[in-house]
Structure 1
């Protein structure tokens, strides 16, 4: 039987973290290891230590030379700790994501060396009075309109690396080591997911959607387009362009341009901010 680790980066969102922990505790397959990577958040480490059985907290600090949360570095740190503990299946869950009762079992059963498996992620409305109830989440959540929704146990290959997201995915230790993890030059929001998917493709590891492994994304304030992440998107987009020769997140960039926040330079295919960055909608900086 595989030894499964769940890896979750955290900065704030403590109520979201606690609900994720509750869901993991009642699932049909509990993880063998639960690694919570705290980013400038000692309180989250305390919450993990009080869990029964206790989780494993790993602290990753912001780089002084780079703005934004070190999300890529946090996922890599969590994977290293999980591998040190003997895990051979790595399940990455965003702190906002609540796994369904069969999600960890499905990932553990079907994880493979030639593909990263992505379970479906559905979005929840704001919580009712008293908070979310685990049994109510499937009826409350709406699937993402731009992602496939496979049937239970169905695996659907994905050819477009831009559709990969790190909210909920699983890989074997073998595949992770072939890919080499996330590029830690990315900090803050955007770019690192598609970069990871392209690294996976270069390593011969595909992307696939997995049915029957749902995650329910807890509500938090966001902007459309995500203006609070404007500087992160410009910085990480430029890094991605240096590494891969084209810009990611072009839809967001074009939306920013329509708002007068950025302009596109066709000579260099670069994007430049033309207005002051707006106030952040999310003080924690988590996407």
Structure 2
């Protein structure tokens, strides 16, 4: 592999295959980029236009997303990648995402880098870079610096880490924390990783212009289908860090009468 090679690492299961194919088509505009897909479903992966397809099957409590991110990043490093860009299967990279992440990594090689994310409406054209640029509207929950600017996160911003789009050097990955593979199913592993970065003294940086575009698909808020995952993974997080994540969802579940606080933990009502 050549020096400075970039890799895009993506997790996918059957419901997101069409989203993934659109992502891979966008990444393939630069044929030098290594693509690693980690299939997390219980079934066999389909044929995909990727350099490597790994499989991390579900565990007893659901999809092993933390283990899959670790496996995908490890494989990309083993194949010679110097810059790792991790995207969720439903995220399409903007035309400048890889270049902005690479420039930020050169300036801040020890940081974990996070670009802005735009949530697209139904029917948005994700195949035309100009249409994506016109649709850019970064989610307001996180900083979005000017194009090309890099802003180091404050000490209270590590809980804003989202794994749907981030990047780091191979050296930073080797030296820093990994995702906690004790998380299975939905929720918690992102914030846990952000807290682990802060505890290890690894900076987080917001990268202007590294736009990712989240393709629309139906969701529920709060995520009722993941209620038990939220309780189980939230309790794991609380044991480690002394507070519960996903508080907005827990409050919504509680207001609906589905969960209750017993003075020490959240439980099904």
- The alignment's TM-score, normalised by the length of structure 2, stands at 0.91
Q: CA deviation at 1:121?
A: 0.5
Q: Does 1:24 align with 2:27?
A: yes
Q: Which residue of the partner structure matches residue 96 of structure 1?
A: 90
Measure, in 1, the Cα distance between the counterparts of 2:197 and 2:31. 27
Q: In the alignment, does 2:245 pair up with 1:244?
A: no
Deviation per CA, 1:115-136, whole angstroms, max 9, x where unpaired? 11101100011116xx643231
Aligned-CA RMSD value: 1.7
Which of 129, 132, 137 does residue 137 from structure 1 map onto? 132
Question: Measured at CA, do residues 237 and 31 of structure 1 come closer, stay the same or move farther in structure 2, by a change above 3 Å?
Answer: farther
In the alignment, is the contact (CA less than 8 A) between 1:106 and 1:153 conserved in 2?
Answer: yes
Match of 1:172 in 2: 169
Work out whether 1:230 is the aligned partner of 2:227. yes
Alignment CA distance shift 1:188-1:141 (3 Å): farther
Alignment of 1:1-287 (within 5 A): 1-12=3-14, 13-26=16-29, 29-30=30-31, 32-40=33-41, 44-47=45-48, 51=49, 54-63=50-59, 66-111=60-105, 112-127=108-123, 132-135=126-129, 136-159=131-154, 160-266=157-263, 268=264, 270-274=265-269
CA distance in 2, matches of 1:31, 1:213: 18
8 Å CA contact 1:23, 1:134 repeated in 2:
no
Q: Return the offset for 1:229.
A: 1.5
Please report how far the alpha carbon of residue 140 of structure 1 lies from its aligned counterpart in structure 2 after TM superposition: 3.0
Unaligned runs of 5+ in 2: none
Are the aligned partners of 2:86 and 2:164 in contact in 1 as well (CA < 8 Å)?
yes
**Following the alignment from structure 1 to structure 2, what is the Cα–Cα distance between the partners of residues 30 and 190?**
33
**Could you tell me the TM-score, scaled by structure 1's length?**
0.86
How far did 1:238 drift?
0.4
- 1:42 is displaced (CA, Å) by 5.5
What's the offset of the Cα at 1:92?
A: 0.3
* 1:91-110, Cα deviation, whole Å (9 max, x unpaired): 10000100011111211222
Give the Å deviation of 1:182.
0.3
The number of aligned residues is 261
* 5+ residue gaps, structure 1: 275-287
